[in-house]
Amino acid sequence: MQFLESPPRFLFFTGKGGVGKTSIACATALQLTAQGRRVLLVSTDPASNVGQVFGISIGNHITPVPTVANLSALEIDPQAAAQAYRDRIVGPARGVLEASVVKSMEEQLSGACTTEIAAFDEFTALLVGSSQTDRYEHIIFDTAPTGHTIRLLQLPGAWSGFLDAGKGDASCLGPLAGLDKQHDQYRKAVEALCDPVRTRLVLVARAQNAALREAAHTHEELATLGLREQYLVVNGVLPGTEAEKDPLAAAVYTREQLALAQMPEALKPLPLDQLPLKAFNLVGIEALKQLLRDTCDTEGLQPTVVHIDAPSLSDLVDDIALDGHGLVMVMGKGGVGKTTLAAAVAVELAHRGLPVHLTTSDPAAHLAETLSGSMSNLTLSRIDPQVETQRYRDHVMATKGAALDEQGKALLAEDLRSPCTEEIAVFQAFSRVIREAGRRFVVMDTAPTGHTLLLLDATGAYHRDIARQMEGSSMHFSTPMMQLQDPKKTKVLLVTLAETTPVLEAANLQADLRRAGIEPWAWVINNSIAATTTQSPLLRKRAENELEEIEHVANEYARRYAVIPLMAEEPIGVERLLKLSKKQPRHR
């Protein structure tokens, strides 16, 4: 493995949910300790399963792993860190400021950016060094900080007064108000991250176009900030030997090899390692020791025959179609197939003769590629995030920035470069489309995150302004947020995969939405092997492993759900998209 050659002290593993970051980080720790190195394994994943992997309880303190000499582990709890962080900032305001102001502060600090920065706040001490960590030769981080967090920490120290004076806008820079006393520590931490002698960043992806595009985006963002010591690991590649045993396996193999051959140019110069797909769950030390081997032995596999009796996408569309119109929002983390699902729902509704407007904020316009054609009753549009964000920035600078001095304008302009600005701008553009849902179906791909919804509603923006203006009036009024909260007008579909991390991430998104008063209508489990008739021993074993996650969704998380099988053909074009909503065989 190239990424393990002459490893520096700090190794960071980053990538979207479900690509195998935790497993690879744990396997790396085992390999280094086997060489006699003292290793500390740190997880900042809110759904960390490091303890489960090693069969022990770890938690938010350094804990020796009894079964592995020289290995200790630490699970930073981002939610607990975020709560402590909020208490530190909001606490002094309680009893001093009005309750409405305190509530607004709490809500502004309730989003994903606060959690991310608070977790960074926790592990900067590990980068800078302390008596607790100096004894370790290697510190391995599962889930590295994003480029957006590092850029925030590089900002000038003038934020606190600027934000306190209310000159900033609704963005993720609010959490910076609590960082002003620790600038020196953050400066040293960022220096350590950008030092190739001390730090190596490992991008983890799957052999899929979406995952590789996301890895390329992360690579470019972090390289711009000075983190240039980067390696690429493509995990879970189906071995060519399986392609000989089954048509579905052959199709998956061909698709993955094509994605690797056509990976984004930005990734091609990086040192590349490929790890074959394993048939077994990566839990336990013996399983992890096999992960970094570049072979996959499927001889002797005896997978059980899988029978699932799960609802299909067709069942969900039947219920959606009953109203004749309405808003369908497709949400989920990157790489789970939101775009494909949104297109499949829109195409099926249009195929039934219903009027549909399908819209997306995908900056690369992959929705048009997915449709690959047109059909009656279906209108397609694309919201350009760059155009909408610039329009929003111009408006804020022309209004809120008009009375500021040059320094104030410069700080406001920096505030408006935060990632949340784009989320808010895109949501405003979505809001204009939402109004159409009263007369036809509007299907939205790449819906705004729960964090953005909280900012828009709870920090006061549009909804509170309208409600205050209409107070005491008998006139009826409606805001986009009210429409999203009305289950009769909006159906939210959460998309996930039948794997541990994607399911937990979807559950976290569901919790975010519920805090915003939005109840997801259904879950969709995409690309399920358990719903296919594959004869590949490796894939059949993977199908067996999926059953537990499907059970979790069906019994713990979802009010209603559907399972979409992994397709032999890439679901591109109207005819193939229609196949996704057809009832599939439920046995193998």
Active site annotation includes 45: yes
| Angstrom distance (rounded) from CA 192 to CA 177 | 23
In this structure, the answer to whether residues 486 and 547 fall within a common structural domain is: yes
Q: What is the pLDDT of residue 371?
A: 81
| Angstrom distance (rounded) from CA 564 to CA 584 | 8
Which two tokens mark 574? 């109207």
In this structure, the answer to whether residues 237 and 351 fall within a common structural domain is: no
- Is residue 573 within 8 Å of 371, Cβ to Cβ? yes
- Would you call 141 helix, strand, or coil by DSSP? strand
Does residue 490 sit within a domain?
yes
Pick the catalytic residue from 45, 77, 142, 273. Answer: 45
DSSP-assigned letter for residue 304: P
| Angstrom distance (rounded) from CA 259 to CA 270 | 16
What is the Rg, in whole angstroms, of the alpha carbon atoms belonging to the chain?
24
> Alpha helix (H) ranges present in 416-449?
419-434
Does residue 175 sit within a domain?
yes
Cα–Cα nearest to 309, from 530, 579, 581: 530
In this structure, the answer to whether residues 253 and 330 fall within a common structural domain is: no
Residue type for position 548: E
Does residue 399 sit within a domain?
no
Round to the nearest angstrom and report the end-to-end CA distance of the chain.
37
In this structure, the answer to whether residues 285 and 359 fall within a common structural domain is: no
Domain total of the chain? 2
- Would you call 492 helix, strand, or coil by DSSP? strand
Q: Is the Cα dihedral 526, 530, 535, 540 positive or negative?
A: positive
Active site annotation includes 195: no
Pick the catalytic residue from 14, 15, 22, 143. Answer: 22
| Angstrom distance (rounded) from CA 332 to CA 506 | 6
In this structure, the answer to whether residues 58 and 180 fall within a common structural domain is: yes
Active site annotation includes 18: yes
Q: Considering 258, 291, 324, which residue would you say is the last residue of a domain?
A: 291
Q: Is the Cα dihedral 260, 265, 268, 270 positive or negative?
A: negative
| Angstrom distance (rounded) from CA 426 to CA 424 | 5
Q: Is the Cα dihedral 497, 502, 506, 511 positive or negative?
A: positive
| Angstrom distance (rounded) from CA 588 to CA 542 | 14
Does residue 304 sit within a domain?
no
Does residue 501 sit within a domain?
yes
In this structure, the answer to whether residues 251 and 164 fall within a common structural domain is: yes
| Angstrom distance (rounded) from CA 329 to CA 345 | 10
In this structure, the answer to whether residues 46 and 139 fall within a common structural domain is: yes
| Angstrom distance (rounded) from CA 143 to CA 21 | 7
Does residue 32 sit within a domain?
yes
Model confidence, pTM: 0.81
- Is residue 468 within 8 Å of 381, Cβ to Cβ? no
In this structure, the answer to whether residues 162 and 61 fall within a common structural domain is: yes
Residue 555's CATH number:
3.40.50.300
In this structure, the answer to whether residues 489 and 362 fall within a common structural domain is: yes
Residue 472 contacts by C-beta under 8 Å, 6 or more apart in sequence? none
Pick the catalytic residue from 72, 500, 501, 534. Answer: 501
In this structure, the answer to whether residues 223 and 367 fall within a common structural domain is: no
| Angstrom distance (rounded) from CA 417 to CA 94 | 30
Strands of 119-166, DSSP E: 138-142
Which two tokens mark 384? 């350009």
pLDDT means over runs of 10, the chain (588 residues): 94 84 92 96 74 79 91 85 81 82 74 72 78 89 71 59 60 59 75 91 91 89 88 94 90 96 96 91 80 71 74 94 94 85 95 93 68 86 88 89 86 76 80 86 79 57 49 57 86 93 87 87 96 90 92 96 92 90 56
Residue 403 contacts by C-beta under 8 Å, 6 or more apart in sequence? none
Q: Considering 291, 322, 339, which residue would you say is the last residue of a domain?
A: 291
Q: What is the pLDDT of residue 466?
A: 47
Strand ordering across the sheet containing 378-382: 378-382, 356-360, 441-445, 326-331, 490-497, 522-528, 561-565
217-238 residues labelled b (16+ CB within 10 A) or e (exposed): ebbeebbebebebbbbbbbbbb
Q: What is the domain range of residue 59?
A: 8-291
Active site annotation includes 36: no
Active site annotation includes 318: no
| Angstrom distance (rounded) from CA 22 to CA 18 | 9
Pick the catalytic residue from 21, 278, 333, 338. Answer: 21
Residue 100 contacts by C-beta under 8 Å, 6 or more apart in sequence? none
Pick the catalytic residue from 14, 23, 340, 500. Answer: 23
- Is residue 74 within 8 Å of 60, Cβ to Cβ? yes
- Is residue 207 within 8 Å of 236, Cβ to Cβ? yes
Residue 379 contacts by C-beta under 8 Å, 6 or more apart in sequence? 355, 356, 357, 358
Pick the catalytic residue from 14, 15, 17, 18. Answer: 18
Q: What is the pLDDT of residue 430?
A: 82
**Exposed/middle/buried for 375, CB within 10 Å: 0-12, 13-18, 19+?**
middle
Active site annotation includes 309: no
Q: What is the pLDDT of residue 586?
A: 46
In this structure, the answer to whether residues 321 and 448 fall within a common structural domain is: yes
Q: Considering 232, 256, 291, which residue would you say is the last residue of a domain?
A: 291
Q: What is the pLDDT of residue 570?
A: 85
Does residue 319 sit within a domain?
yes
Residue 88 contacts by C-beta under 8 Å, 6 or more apart in sequence? 178
For 514-576, give the DSSP string. HHTT----EEEEEEESTTS----HHHHHHHHHHHHHHHHIIIII-SSEEEEEPPSS---SHHH
Pick the catalytic residue from 14, 15, 16, 20. Answer: 20
In this structure, the answer to whether residues 329 and 278 fall within a common structural domain is: no
Q: Which helix (H) or strand (E) holds 435?
A: none
- Would you call 359 helix, strand, or coil by DSSP? strand
Does residue 256 sit within a domain?
yes
Active site annotation includes 501: yes
Q: What is the pLDDT of residue 165?
A: 63
- Is residue 509 within 8 Å of 450, Cβ to Cβ? yes
| Angstrom distance (rounded) from CA 31 to CA 25 | 10
